[in-house]
Structures are given as C-alpha cells and as structure tokens.
Amino acid sequence: MVEIDASNLTHRALNDNLRRAIISGNKEVRLKNVLGQRFIAAGFRYRVRIEIDGIAGNDLAVFMDGPEIYLHGNGEDGVGNTISGGKITIFGDSGDLLGHSARGGKIFVRGDIGWRGGIHAKSYQNKLPVIIVGGRAGDYLGEYLSGGLIIVLGIPEDSRPLVGKFLGTGMHGGTIYLRGSVPEHFLGKEVNEASFNDNDAALIKPYLAEFCQDFGFDFSETMRVPFRKLVSQTSRPYGRLYAY
Amino acid sequence: MALKLTSAEFEVVRDKERCIACFACARQCAFDTHTDNDGVVESDSRLCVGCHRCEVLCPTGALKIVQKERLIKENSNWQSSSFLAIQKQSEAGGIVLAAMGTDRPYTIYWDHLLLNAAQVTNPSIDPLREPMELRTYLGRKPVSFQDEGELSPQLRLEMPVLFSAMSYGSISLNTCRSLAWASRAAGTYWNTGEGGLPQELYAYNDRAICQVASGRFGVSPEYLEQAAALEIKIGQGAKPGIGGHLPGEKVTVEISATRMIPEGTDAISPAPHHDIYSIEDLKQLIFALKEATEYRKPVAVKIAAVHNIAAIASGAVRAGADIVCIDGIRGGTGAAPLVIRDNVGIPVELALAAVDNRLRQEGIRPQASIVVAGSIRSSADVVKAIALGADAVYIGTAALVALGCHICQKCYTGKCNWGIATQDPYLTKRLNPEVGARRLTNLLRAWKMEIKEMLGGMGINALESLRGNREQLRAVGLTEKEMEILGVKHAGEGW
C-alpha cells in the first residue's frame, strides 16, 4: 500500500498526488496526517481502496462513483455529497449533510452524524444509496428523501434520542429504519410508520452484516432490538399544487 | 362536472367559404379546440391557447385566431390577467402556473437605449470589406500583466450569443438536438438546464454547458466529465428564490433516465441548494466541481437579477466563479407560478449595469465573464448588452421562436403544438432537428452580420472595444436615476 503524507498539502495537491498514485497502478492508497483538506477523491471513478488517517474536510468523496474510502477519524460536513457509487466508511463521527443528494453507494458511520443526514437522497434503477449510522443522527434526518435507505442503530443504547426532530420532513420516497423508537412529534408531517416485515429484514440484513464486520459490531446483538420502519405518505407531494 | 366559468381568451374565426373540412386543424391542435363531429369541423374557442398553429397550417387560410380585447367590461383596475387568475384559482384551488417570460408592461430598457454611429470625425467601417472580431472567450482572465501561472480554462465563442438553459423535460429531445447541432455549427454553446444530459447528445458534449442545480438531477461524475463547462444554477429570472417541480406525469422513461430518478415520480428541485447557505458554501461547491474536473472546465454561477445583485455577483466572483450569469425578470421558464414570474426580480439591464460597475469598482471585473439573459430579442439587444458591460448573452425564447414557437406561453401544459415544449411523440416529431438546427444557425448568422454592421457603424472593429463602452449608448425617455444606474447619458448630450 502506497502512502501519501498530507501534511501541508492543499486540497488540490492532495487530490493530484492521490490521482497520480492511483493512475500509476496502486489499488490501495493511505493518506496520512490528513487535517481538514476538503474534496478528497472528488468525482473519482477509480476502483481503489483509500485509507485516510486524520480528519477529512468538507465534501469528502463529493460526486464520487467507485472508490472505497476508510476514514480512521472524523468526517466533517457534506461527506458523500451527490455521490453516485462506492463506499465511505467512517470510524468516528461525521457532520451535517451526510450523503446529500446521494444516488448510490454506501456511507457507513460508526458514531453520530449531524443535521440533515441523507437529505434528498435518490435511488434509480439498480442504484440505491445506503446510509447507516451506528450512533445517533441530528435533526432533519432524511429531509426531502426521495429514494434509498437510511438506517440508524443508536449504539450504545442510552437515554439520548435516536434521531433529532423533523425526521423525514418533505420525504417523498425511500425508507428510514430506526433501531428503537422515536417520539411521535419528532416525525415530519409527510412521514408514516409502516410495519417492519420479513422483506425489510431481508433487505437490510446484508448491509448491516457488512456494517458490523467493518466496525466489529456483534451482528446478532444489532438485530436483537426491533426496528421501526418509516416511509413517505406519497411519492407525489406536488400532485395537486397547481392550477393549469 | 360543474359548469366551467373560465373565460375564453381567444376567438376562433373560421371562413366557412374557404374551409374544405380537411380537419388539418383538428389534427394539429393538442388542446382539442377543433374536433371532427361527423364530418363537420367544430371549434370550441374556450380551449384555444392562441398558439396559431392551426392558422399557420390551414391549407386554405380559412382560420384566424383573434385575441379578445376584453374579457369583462372596460375596467382599468381589473386587467384580464388578474381576472383569469382568480377564475383558475377558484376552480382548481392551486397556484396559477405560467410559462416563458413575464408579459407585464415593465420598462424594457433596451428599447430606451440608442446606439451611436461614426460621422465625419472618425470613420465607420464596412464589415463586408474589413475583418470584424466577434470572437469571445468566457472565463477568468489574468488580472494584471504580471499575472503569471496557468490561464484559467476558457470557452471560445465565435459570437457572443449562447443558448440558455432549457432542460430535457421542459423541451423535447428534438429541440435539444436542434440547439446542440446549431451550437456546433455556429461555434457557440447550448445549456442542458438542470435535467441532465441525454445520452444521445454525448456526441455534442464539447458544446454543452451542464447545469448543477439544487435537485442534482443527472449529476454524476460522468456528466461532469462530459461538460464543456459547468453552471451552478442558483436562480432563474422567471422564478427567483423558488425551486421547481417536474410533475410525475412528465417523468417518462427517457426523462427518468436522464434525470436518474424513477419513472412517474415528482422531480423536485428545492428552492436552495442544501449545501449552499452562504458565499463560503458557494465557494465550496465551485471548488468541489473544479476538483472533480481537475480544473479543466470553467465553472459558471447563474443567479437571478434581484435587489442586491451587485453584492451577490461580487461574492460569486470572489468565491471563484469563472462566469457569472444574470437572468432578469423578463427571463423565460417552462413553468413558474404566475405571481412569482410577474412580480419577483428586476430587469436585467439595471442588474447588468450595477454588477459591471460594482466589479469594476472592486477591481475584480477581469476575474469573471458576465453573461446576461432575460429577454434578448434581437442583435440590437445583444450590442446594447455588450456596451453595458456584458461579455455575452444567453438566448432562450428567441431560439425557440426560430424553431416555430409562437409564444402562447403554455409550455407547462406539455401539449406544445409546435413540438417544442412537449414529450408527446405525436407532437415532438413536428420539429425536425435538422431543420431546427438550420433555422437556429441561420438566426445566429443573421445576428452576427447585424452585430458587425452596428459595430462597423460605430467605427469599432472588435467587440472587445465595445465591452462596457457606455459612451456608445444614449438614453431616451428615462429618469435621471435610471440613467445614473445604467451609467449612460441622455440622447442629445455629447461626449
């Protein structure tokens, strides 16, 4: 595995070095001493594994479609912004706007995330964005959600709320699975609870198994607590808005 | 169903002597104004939208579409537009939709600005004999001669006119094709709008400006890779401050593939970009796009002309925009709430003058090119815009008129009889893209020659010498304040 020392590199130089390392044939690259550089792997379409040591700046993996990123530290805002594919695994916490407008790919966070996680994520054909949060999520999780899966596990279990308020506000597609409960008044007005059945379990199990493997969580323990399933009331929120 | 109270805006006048009952009108009208009732042509004026398709195509010239002078008895307060809006609202209980640019009588400043010409003291130039330079480069320019390092990426235009953003979805694929083909032929660019780039048009990617809007539809690394330039759409002149919704019924298989959303779902473009709440955030998206395209493509920011436009444009330039596009209140749209289209924003002429002034005062004018939109109707408007400080202009409606559009402003119905703003295969085949491209190329060729004539008349042989050269403009019928903002003298004042 080739290593790049990110100390004192601008985001442009960092991405240039990273791109060169990948083009010259490395399938695994490690970025050391990353300290807030933005846009890491922006728009990358390579099949490559990128390990990051440190704190990745805003818009990590923005527009990305392909690489697998393992961030050994915290993410900041806009992780996986408008991502089309690939995987981002964060061993710490992450900030606001995680997976904004994601159209595919997996974003796994071991810890907590900030506000507006998974906002306006979409699915299309065989593309399905999957966001799994090991800890807790802030307000407006799944706002405008139009496709994809958002799963919040709430580990470790304690008295703190699993998610913030205005959950799924403006949601018109996709599914949110919560491992545990949430106060009724936290739900956005476009959100309905649906029964969690075997199909749901079959759908999320492989992703959760992968998640547990990445972070060393106990899979059966993770599945022990019942899940709540939340869906949108309509896929046509603007069906009767206009006069023609 | 209850009796419809909506008034007819048009009257279909049929000359019975000339009508041969061929039913061409019935076949042409997607609004079912004309019908075949057992061999007799019947027309229901209430359904007519005034697109004039039947009138133009009637083989015997038997039809005349007449706009009713008044829907109610004379009343200076109650104009037809407010009256009709209430009728529609009270029937449907929804927001009244409108399309294309506002038709309200706001001052059109282009029509109050006159161009100069050379007489005696400096010679005019004959563009038929002497070279005239219209080539325009859009992008960030070096600020000083000492400025070293690499030149920012530039778009090269053979004339200062581009086709403005119209998405596949709002217009048909044949219309997109016409624009793309014409862009290549004329050496300019077309703009995908926010609906993504149809795969069939990847062949014209070197001429495509690809938009990144709040819905991020079709925005994939492949899309960014295809583009000649990227444009972050913050706002649109016809609907500043609000988002857009492509209703599910218009999201066909093809549209869904381009937008990358499931068929039949509402495509929602939120009002703001969720990742842009400040100039600093805008900078972040600009640089995310630059990073993703390795700094090889100019990044434009399109904003609607609003009250504080000069400061906003300055912020966009400082945030790293290579091109700032300003869309005025008369700018077009495929669909917008009537009340927004007709009441929000300011005319592009005032916005352009204010922005150009501000960027000059701040010493950052070379850092970005300015492209204006929001009703450029003729080559004279282009020349006046350049003299006011623009680098180039976007044309939307003018291009559609070249393709047959008769400005009936019913784009949002998806039933465009001219085959432009529709996805209905029966209607879209009415526009042959080869013919369309030829008509657009002709239009640009004609404007190019006219621009050269006007330039030559002023004794100027390069567009660059006209840019921001407001001495070439004089105002007629404007107030002191308007002239102050436009930075022009009144007609009758010399140098």
Per-residue pLDDT of B339-380, as tens digits, reads: 999 999 999 999 999 999 999 999 999 999 999 999 999 999
Residue A133 lies inside a defined structural domain of this protein: yes
Give backbone dihedrals phi and psi of B336, rounded to 5 degrees, phi first.
-155, 150
Q: Range(s) for CATH 3.20.20.70 in chain B?
A: 110-490
**Contacting residues of B for A235, CB less than 8 Å apart:** 248, 264-266
Residue A228 lies inside a defined structural domain of this protein: yes
Smallest CA-to-CA distance from B197 within B255, B240, B237, B243 is with B255
**Contacting residues of B for A119, CB less than 8 Å apart:** 274
Q: Which of B256, B270, B288 sits opposite A39 (nearest CB)?
A: B288
Task: Show the domain range for A175.
Answer: 93-241
Q: Calculate mean pLDDT across residues B219-236.
A: 97
Q: Calculate mean pLDDT across residues B462-473.
A: 97
Residue A145 lies inside a defined structural domain of this protein: yes
What burial letters (b/e) apply to B256-274, b meaning 16+ CB within 10 Å? bbbbbbbeebbbbbbeebb
Which residues neighbour B62 within 8 Å (Cβ) at sequence distance 6 or greater? Answer: B14, B15, B16, B17, B18, B19, B20
Measure B249 CA to nearest chain A CA, in Å: 9
SS3 A70: strand
Smallest CA-to-CA distance from B309 within B329, B290, B286 is with B329
Cis peptide before B270 (omega within 30 of 0): no
Length of chain B: 495
**Contacting residues of A for B293, CB less than 8 Å apart:** 43
Residue A130 lies inside a defined structural domain of this protein: yes
Instruction: List pLDDT tens digits, range A25-82.
Output: 999 999 999 999 999 999 999 999 999 999 999 999 999 999 999 999 999 999 999 9
Residue A157 lies inside a defined structural domain of this protein: yes
SS3 B10: strand
Q: Calculate mean pLDDT across residues B131-159.
A: 90
CB contact under 8 A, B221 and A84: yes
Q: Which of A82, A237, A239 sits opposite B216 (nearest CB)?
A: A82
Mean pLDDT value across chain A: 95
Residue A26 lies inside a defined structural domain of this protein: no
Residue A168 lies inside a defined structural domain of this protein: yes
Specify the pLDDT at position B245.
82
Specify the pLDDT at position B1.
42
Specify the pLDDT at position B69.
84
Measure B63 CA to nearest chain A CA, in Å: 26
Q: Which of A77, A147, A243 sits opposite B92 (nearest CB)?
A: A243
CATH of B10-69, one of 3.30.870.10, 3.40.1350.10, 3.30.70.20, 3.60.60.10: 3.30.70.20
Residue A50 lies inside a defined structural domain of this protein: no
Q: Calculate mean pLDDT across residues B289-312.
A: 98
Distance of CA A88 to the CA centre of its chain: 7
**Contacting residues of A for B274, CB less than 8 Å apart:** 97, 100-101, 116, 119-120, 143-144
Question: Which of the pair, A180 or B6, is modelled with greater confidence?
Answer: A180
Instruction: List pLDDT tens digits, range B25-35.
Output: 999 999 999 99
- Number of domains chain A is built from: 1
- pLDDT category at A115 given cuts 50, 70, 90 is very high
**Distances B470 to B123, B323, B431, B476 between C-alpha atoms, Å:** 19, 21, 40, 14
Measure A54 CA to nearest chain B CA, in Å: 20
Smallest CA-to-CA distance from B394 within B228, B235, B159 is with B159
Q: Calculate mean pLDDT across residues B73-94.
A: 91
Residue A168 corresponds to which amino acid? G
Tally helices (H) and strands (E) across chain B: 15, 21
Task: Point out the least confidently predicted range of B44-58, B189-203, B225-239, B243-257.
Answer: B243-257
CB contact under 8 A, A242 and B97: yes
Instruction: List pLDDT tens digits, range A203-240.
Output: 999 999 999 999 999 999 999 999 999 999 887 777 77
Specify the pLDDT at position B466.
97
CATH number at residue A213: 2.160.20.60
Q: Calculate mean pLDDT across residues A100-111.
A: 97
Q: At which residue do the structure tokens 């609202």 appear? A: B89
Q: Range(s) for CATH 3.30.70.20 in chain B?
A: 10-69
- The correct answer on CATH 3.30.1300.10 for the domain covering B110-490 is no
CB contact under 8 A, A103 and B262: no
Smallest CA-to-CA distance from B217 within B155, B169, B281 is with B169
Instruction: List pLDDT tens digits, range A118-170.
Output: 999 999 888 999 999 999 999 999 999 999 999 999 999 988 999 999 999 99
Which of A37, A40, A122 is the best mutation test for B, with the most CBs of B within 10 A? A122
